[in-house]
Amino acid sequence: MFTDRFLRDRRGVRLETAERARLEEAIEEVRVVEARKRLVRAGDVLSESTLLVEGFLCRYIDDRRGLRQLMAVHVPGDFVDLHGFPLKTLDHDVATLTAATVAIVPHTALQQIEREAPDLARKLWYATLLDAAIHRAWLFRLGRLDSIGRVAHFLCETNARLVLAGLSDGRRFAFGLTQYDLAEICGLTNVHVNRVIRALREERLCLFRSSLVEILDPRRLAERGQFDPTYLYIDDSAAGALAAKD
Amino acid sequence: MFTDRFLRDRRGVRLETAERARLEEAIEEVRVVEARKRLVRAGDVLSESTLLVEGFLCRYIDDRRGLRQLMAVHVPGDFVDLHGFPLKTLDHDVATLTAATVAIVPHTALQQIEREAPDLARKLWYATLLDAAIHRAWLFRLGRLDSIGRVAHFLCETNARLVLAGLSDGRRFAFGLTQYDLAEICGLTNVHVNRVIRALREERLCLFRSSLVEILDPRRLAERGQFDPTYLYIDDSAAGALAAKD
DNA sequence: AGGAAAAGTTAACCTGGATCAAGACGATTA
DNA sequence: TAATCGTCTTGATCCAGGTTAACTTTTCCT
């Protein structure tokens, strides 16, 4: 099922089987998209939203010089532009980072859910608020952490989210991002990201290769990035899988 | 009416008179709070949300050394912790910046709205997404702007939001923030904020005194902060009031 | 297999903002 | 009126991360 990973293991929003089925039915089409492809441009009027099934997507804003600031990286299970349903147009672009599979849900189907299944509608709301919580963690990262801390924090977050999606064992995960991407995420230059990666490697905290991230010391990495996963609203039953990994 | 400023002049979410009345009824209590007072602590289980009627509130996360990173500054009309309704607990603290008047809305009343007035419920959802859009603008600010740009961008944003709230004429507005607050917003030190303010003054862009902000050259200030108000989703009918101010 | 393009690596140098320190100013309270 | 505390102001010094530029490695294409 394409919706299998959506809202998995989040506190207080267990999706009922019927609800998941209903979402599944709402999918109009499943599409495969190549890497580095823009899916939505800021200002476009939207009539559908995108659930990420496989691969990585991002959301970003360009600055005047053409440099991007990423505002979100999406992992499988994320309802990437669900906020486009109430907002109708977005304030940013959406693009693939890697090749990806996406499920398209028309807004008419969401309207129907809203009318007929208020409980499920509330869970959709919740999902968008989770994204906002992640935005806030990113604000903390950019405003208060140094370069090593930023990268460490981001890798901890991504690891945690991928554990929930069943795509990381808590130590290693496949990831197709370049150092340049990491720079756009952390508000750094690619050159400096390279130095940070070396430092993380030399301190035996983690390894970052394009296509594979390996966390050598989860505890110390989290410490270095002041990472506290509370903002991910992970259900207690699943929290253990994350915590006991060193 | 306490809800007068809520969702005013936003694109595609005109609140009907009946809807506003309904929200007004949902208010359980109106409270006056002194400056620099914490209202919600991260992790608290919430059973009510706060609509800001007067004054300024903020949301923030503390770092390990006790320095705060603000994630939001709220102006009158903002439903400050509406996201606490679906989420139940928050990932950050909420506090007053200045003395403030707040209206308390119990979650039971919101539940009732959700069941009985799905259109209004959708508008509440929208309001929380507006906050998320502002988070993203803040991410852009921290990730891509230099110190002068950050302060310029923040002042443009605040001015625009206060114009919508009827609390700025587009040029000057009362604001009770210190330079220290500005530092916590922009990810800078108070010392450097002081220098930035001087630079903005010397370039005749704007004046920042505690208790009064005066924008001398809106166009150039926006330019300096790469400020584009699209992310505030201002209705076309109200957009003019902002644009034609130089 | 070979060649081009993208991604990663490293060094040298520079600068924006942090840090530290000292005072000035302005409100509030006694 | 003085005393006190928070806020603002300014200067001196330092360093994290930016910039530029060269070079290497990997990936992808035909």
**What's the token pair of residue A63?**
């600055």
The nucleotide whose C1' lies nearest the CA of A186 is D17
Asked: is B146-243 a CATH 1.10.510.10 domain? The reply is no
Question: pLDDT at position B243, please?
Answer: 65
Question: pLDDT at position A243, please?
Answer: 65
Domain boundaries, chain A: 17-136, 145-243
Nearest CA in chain B to A66: B144
One fold for A17-136 and A145-243: no
> pLDDT of A91-124, one tens digit each?
999 999 999 999 999 999 999 999 999 999 999 9
Check whether A244 has a pLDDT greater than 70.
no
* Burial A65-84, CB ≥16 within 10 A → b, else e: eeebbbbbbbbbbbbbbbbb
| 3-state SS assignment for residue A32 | strand
Cβ contacts of B115 on chain A, cutoff 8 Å: 118
Nearest CA in chain A to B184: A143
**Is B135's CB within 8 Å of A137's CB?**
no
The nucleotide whose C1' lies nearest the CA of B190 is D8
B66: left (phi over 0), alpha (psi -120 to 50) or beta: left
| 3-state SS assignment for residue B53 | strand
- Substitution target in A87, A93, A182 with the highest count of B β-carbons within 10 Å is A87
Q: How confident is the model at residue B187 (pLDDT cuts 50, 70, 90)?
A: very high
Cβ contacts of B231 on chain A, cutoff 8 Å: 91
The architecture in CATH of the region A145-243 reads Orthogonal Bundle (1.10)
Among candidates B43, B88, B142 on the partner chain, residue whose Cβ is nearest the Cβ of A139: B142
Hey, CA dihedral for B39, B42, B44, B46, is it positive or negative? positive
Question: pLDDT at position A211, please?
Answer: 86
Cβ contacts of B128 on chain A, cutoff 8 Å: 125, 128-129, 132
> pLDDT of B48-96, one tens digit each?
999 999 999 999 999 888 889 999 999 999 999 999 999 999 999 999 9
The architecture in CATH of the region A17-136 reads Sandwich (2.60)
**Does residue A157 contact residue A112 with C-beta atoms inside 8 Å?**
no
Q: How confident is the model at residue B107 (pLDDT cuts 50, 70, 90)?
A: very high
The nucleotide whose C1' lies nearest the CA of B35 is D6
